[in-house]
Amino acid sequence: MKHLKRNIGRAFLILLGLFVLLTVYFSYNLSLYSERWFSNPNNTRLKVDTANPEIIPGSIMDRNRNVLVETKTSTAQDGTVTYYRDYHKDSKYAAHVVGSKQYGIGGEALFIRYLLGYDNNLFERIYQKAFLDQELGNNVILTIDIELQKYISDSMGNAKGSVVVMNPQNGEILALVSQPSFSPSDTNEEPEEESLINRASYGKYPPGSIIKIVTAAAALETMDEIGDYTVRCTGKTDIDGIIVSCYGDEAHGEVNLSKAMELSCNAYFAQLAQNIGWKQLKKTAEAFGFNKDFLFSDIKTSKSQFPISRLTDVEELVWSAVGQAKVSVTPLHMVMLASAIANDGNMTEPRLIYGIELRTGRVKLQNKSTLTSPISAETSKTLTNIMIGVVENGTGYRAQSTGMLTAGKTGTAEVAADQKPHAWFIGFAPADEPSLAIAVILENAGTGGRYAAPLAGKVLRNAKKLGY
């Protein structure tokens, strides 16, 4: 009997332990994924009855209160009233932000808990249920400026790619453009599948030379002698039998870190990677958020990857350091990287929601949040000065903005032998007091200096004219 009681006690403790573990696991996942689960289009609570909806969804507006989508009614001849989502004509310029109810993407899916008022406090919900025939959802005020969205879309023309503009101080996304795009108001014609993809947050691209910012940061954080480290570039370098060439086999001569960044010298950064080593390079990349799933509440994004380890061979290490091999990034992550340098080494969480407007008119503002501090303020200052040199004297000179000091880095990402490379530019302005960070990717356009840099300069100038 004594043994039986002991075994029962042990079984009880095991079951109790399993219950506790299950509770902790469920609570952890709930805190991480609740927003995703709620906004899933298969959630039946989100289905709106067009004839008699229990809750009338609120509007989505840009930061200046320009309405992009709202709920309207139509009355048939028999008096039947139906509710529908009306997408204003300007919504097409922010299609991947506003999203589409029909396809369950973008803000129409991600912001649904706000649009239906499920984030309201208990007293607000009770009041609406008790005194209103129908509950009213809340309005979502976005951080984007639709005028800036328009300008970027028009400037890109028919080019495929993305442009993201963000305030590095508070994470507010001022513009997020992905092309090709679609019109949320056009429900008659099925858009091409690739136009529904948000390239800004889901598009994964080889970064090319913009990754040299990460390589430089790793060197600045670990190599005391980096200021004296130079390489004589002959247009290529041989590292243990691995030939790393500069673009067009251009010989850059004797270069230090600043000059190598200005000229985007592959030979220098390949040799620098050997000195840094895979461990520190990976550590710095992961400090910037590589290999990490970002679980933002109002933006879904792919994971940027920097897949090196102790098993990485020399060829993969040196090509990773110059932005090729298996390294892949999203434009959203790259504007976050630029923002971290602009913001004294602090990476701020990107935000698409400025605030939630309740039916009372009160606006609940969304607070900024610092994700991480990947580099020191000293390293940030040094990188800023180096990136200013890139724009003033190097490959990024076409990004110069009249009357505004700009810091940046170009990238030319090789993709296939029979295709033009992707053109990159990331940076921020004014470099001495940053209020704008930008990432530009133009697919199969050519070099970053010739194609992405001038677009970035135009966008930054326009954003400044709009008051940012």
Q: In what order do the strands lie in the sheet with 81-87?
A: 81-87, 67-75, 60-61, 139-142, 353-357, 363-365
What number is the average pLDDT over the span 55-65?
93
Task: Kindly state whether residue 301 falls inside one of the protein's structural domains.
Answer: yes
The mean-pLDDT minimum among 5-19, 314-328, 333-347, 442-456 falls in: 5-19
If one compares 22 and 170, the residue with the highest pLDDT of the two is: 170
Continuous H helices in 83-142 = 95-98, 107-110, 112-115, 122-131
357-383 pLDDT, tens digit per residue, is 987 788 888 888 888 999 999 999 999
pLDDT reported for residue 289:
97
Determine what percent of the chain is predicted with pLDDT higher than 90.
Answer: 69
Q: b/e map of 22-59 (b: 16 or more CB within 10 Å)?
A: eeeeeeeeeeeeebeebbeeeeeebebeeeebebbbbb
Task: Kindly state whether residue 416 falls inside one of the protein's structural domains.
Answer: yes
Q: b/e map of 233-270 (b: 16 or more CB within 10 Å)?
A: beeebebeeeebebbeebebeebebbbbbbbbbbbbbb
* Pairing label, strands 242-245, 422-429: unpaired
Q: Reply yes or no on whether the pLDDT at 206 is more than 50.
A: yes
- What is the token pair recorded at 246? 């500069």
Question: What pTM was estimated for this model as a whole?
Answer: 0.87
Neighbours of 403 (CB within 10 A): 7
Q: Reply yes or no on whether the pLDDT at 9 is more than 80.
A: no
159-178 pLDDT, tens digit per residue, is 999 999 999 999 999 999 99
Split into its structural domains, the chain has a count of 1
| Contact assessment for residue 322 and residue 269, using Cβ atoms and an 8 Å cutoff | yes
Neighbours of 384 (CB within 10 A): 20
**How far apart are the C-alpha atoms of 224 and 219, rounded to whole Å?**
8
- What is the token pair recorded at 429? 């302005």
- Give the three-class secondary structure for 433: coil
The mean-pLDDT minimum among 129-138, 177-186, 259-268, 429-438 falls in: 129-138
If one compares 54 and 312, the residue with the highest pLDDT of the two is: 312
Neighbours of 165 (CB within 10 A): 28
Instruction: Specify which residues 216 forms β-bridges with.
Output: none
Structural domain that includes position 239: 208-352+370-465
pLDDT reported for residue 19:
64
H or E element at residue 258: helix 257-263
- What is the token pair recorded at 354? 């400025």
In the chain, count H helices and then E strands: 14, 19
Task: Kindly state whether residue 129 falls inside one of the protein's structural domains.
Answer: no
pLDDT reported for residue 174:
98
pLDDT reported for residue 430:
97
| Contact assessment for residue 338 and residue 439, using Cβ atoms and an 8 Å cutoff | yes
Task: Kindly state whether residue 343 falls inside one of the protein's structural domains.
Answer: yes
CATH number at residue 402: 3.40.710.10
Calculate Rg over the CA atoms of the chain. Answer: 25
Task: Kindly state whether residue 136 falls inside one of the protein's structural domains.
Answer: no
Q: What is the mean pLDDT of the chain?
A: 88
What number is the average pLDDT over the span 263-292?
96
**Residue appearing with tokens 């897949």:** 307
Q: Reply yes or no on whether the pLDDT at 54 is more than 90.
A: no
Task: Kindly state whether residue 34 falls inside one of the protein's structural domains.
Answer: no
Task: Kindly state whether residue 65 falls inside one of the protein's structural domains.
Answer: no
Q: Reply yes or no on whether the pLDDT at 97 is more than 50.
A: yes
**pLDDT band of 79, cuts 50, 70, 90:** confident
Task: Kindly state whether residue 23 falls inside one of the protein's structural domains.
Answer: no
295-340 pLDDT, tens digit per residue, is 898 899 999 999 999 989 999 999 999 999 999 999 999 999 999 9
